Amino acid sequence: MAKNLKLKSARAALDMSQQALAEAVGVSRQTINAIEKGDYNPTINLCIAICKVLDKTLDELFWEN
């Protein structure tokens, strides 16, 4: 699985820490870190929650070209 640099950059653009995003979507900071590193494949529900918090679409954050 590839690193999710789109997620990382969207989070950084909002000046949001991994911890803050994790709290907003109800997971651990380690989970967010693992998603960004490509070590964890999140559920669709978690993807949607992350998109809502970061104001992005699923395509913008999770679609691989």
- Residue 1 or residue 25, greater confidence: 25
Encode pLDDT of 18-44 as tens digits.
Answer: 999 999 999 999 999 999 999 999 999
For residue 50, name the pLDDT band (cuts at 50, 70, 90).
very high
Q: How far, in Å, CA of 31 to CA of 50, rounded?
A: 12
Domain boundaries, the chain: 5-58
Q: Provide the 3-class DSSP secondary structure of residue 19.
A: helix
Q: How far, in Å, CA of 14 to CA of 2, rounded?
A: 22
- Residue 64 or residue 45, greater confidence: 45
CATH of domain 5-58: 1.10.260.40
Question: Phi then psi for 38, rounded to 5 degrees?
Answer: 85, 15
* Full-model pTM: 0.92
Of the candidates 45, 2, 30, 1, the one whose C-alpha atom is nearest the C-alpha of residue 21 is 30
